[in-house]
């Protein structure tokens, strides 16, 4: 009988935290109470958090300011050892026990490239295939790690002027304009995994996964229905809704406080020279 896998489980071998100037470093693996990180096609960059149980005052003596680098060596549930590097950007959820001897807190983590991207703005023009434009941005600004970009080629050539966008935002902007003949939905995603960065459509991701595992049983078939817009018009007029967020549909108490539930209007008919008051309460 095969051993059961502890899916999502891992063993931390070491967790080396380094100061921003790299003059200090320490292994805090023994202080970690829990550790999690996430990656996926809907998350542009990797992110995570570490809960620390600190009885030696490490957060103050090191000190941890929210600008450190942490390199975590761990063994995952496939018995493979991996090293992942994060940047610490916040210290949150601080809690001290009733004796004041032990404190717990959470170190918020993100990708080193994401931190760099947030304080860089691109103000320049790009010309040619959109795939090449994205590769140019990646080569210039994604230099904090040694990960490569696994990309799907686009067919359309365009000229874009990037007006003060971070590298992540610029790539997302270009991905919405990218077009693929082979995968007509042209629904491109840009995201980071533990191994690499990816710029591909969801159809291509599905094809790649199917090719990597020849034993996968075909369960779903993706189909595409040609739209009413011609091929050339689709390239020239590709537009996507960037975001939509409906925070609240109705709040009567809020409307009452703002006076919206009590209004008085007067309807005037200039032809008949009459007026009619209307009270809404």
The residue with greater pLDDT, 274 or 257, is 274
pLDDT at 233: 60
User: Which regions of 153-214 does DSSP assign to beta strands (E)?
Assistant: 157-165, 188-192, 197-201
Report pLDDT digits (tens) over 29-75: 889 988 888 888 888 888 999 999 988 888 888 988 888 899 999 88
Q: Note whether 16 and 71 are within 8 A (CB).
A: yes
pLDDT at 115 over 90: no
pLDDT at 187: 86
pLDDT at 3: 56
pLDDT at 49: 92
Give me 23's structure tokens.
């003059």
What is the phi-psi region of residue 71: left when phi exceeds 0, alpha when psi lies from -120 to 50, beta otherwise? beta
Least confident of 64-73, 113-122, 131-140, 218-227: 218-227
3-state SS, residue 199: strand
The residue with greater pLDDT, 248 or 136, is 136
Give me 203's structure tokens.
């159809």
The residue with greater pLDDT, 263 or 243, is 263
Report pLDDT digits (tens) over 185-214: 888 999 998 889 999 988 888 888 776 665
pTM for the full model? Answer: 0.70
What gap in Å lies between CA 201 and CA 246, rounded to an integer? Answer: 27
Give me 261's structure tokens.
């539930």
Strand-pairing partners, residue 266, are 277
Query: Can you state the angle between helices 167-175 and 130-141, rounded to 10 degrees?
Result: 170
Q: In the block, which residue shows the tokens 């009270």?
A: 279
Q: Residue 63: is the preceding peptide bond cis (ω within 30°)? A: yes
Average pLDDT, the chain: 82
pLDDT at 236: 58
pLDDT at 138 over 90: yes
What gap in Å lies between CA 261 and CA 112, rounded to an integer? Answer: 50
């Amino acid at each position: 009988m095969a051993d059961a896998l502890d899916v999502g489980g891992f063993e931390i071998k070491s967790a080396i935290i380094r100061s921003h100037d790299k003059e200090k470093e320490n292994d805090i693996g023994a202080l970690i109470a829990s550790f999690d990180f996430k990656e996926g096609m809907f998350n542009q960059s990797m992110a995570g958090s570490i809960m620390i149980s600190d009885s030696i005052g490490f957060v103050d003596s090191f000190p941890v300011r929210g600008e450190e680098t942490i390199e975590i060596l761990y063994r995952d549930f496939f018995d493979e050892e991996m090293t992942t590097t994060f940047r610490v950007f916040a210290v949150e959820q601080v809690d001290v026990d009733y004796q004041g001897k032990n404190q717990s807190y959470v170190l918020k983590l993100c990708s080193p490239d994401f931190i760099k991207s947030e304080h860089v703005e691109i103000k320049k023009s790009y010309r040619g295939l959109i795939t090449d434009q994205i590769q140019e941005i990646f080569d210039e600004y994604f230099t904090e790690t040694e990960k490569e970009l696994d990309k799907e080629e686009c067919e359309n050539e365009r000229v874009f002027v990037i007006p003060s966008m971070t590298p992540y935002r610029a790539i997302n902007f270009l991905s919405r304009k990218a077009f693929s003949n082979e995968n007509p939905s042209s629904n491109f995603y840009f995201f980071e995994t533990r191994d690499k960065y990816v710029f591909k459509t969801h159809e291509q991701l599905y094809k790649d996964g199917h090719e990597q595992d020849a034993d996968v049983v075909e369960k779903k078939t993706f189909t595409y229905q040609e739209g009413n817009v011609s091929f050339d018009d689709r390239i020239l007029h590709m537009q996507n809704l960037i975001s939509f967020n409906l925070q609240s549909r109705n709040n009567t108490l809020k409307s009452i406080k703002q006076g919206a539930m009590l209004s008085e209007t007067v309807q005037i008919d200039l032809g008949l020279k009459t007026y009619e008051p209307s009270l809404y309460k």
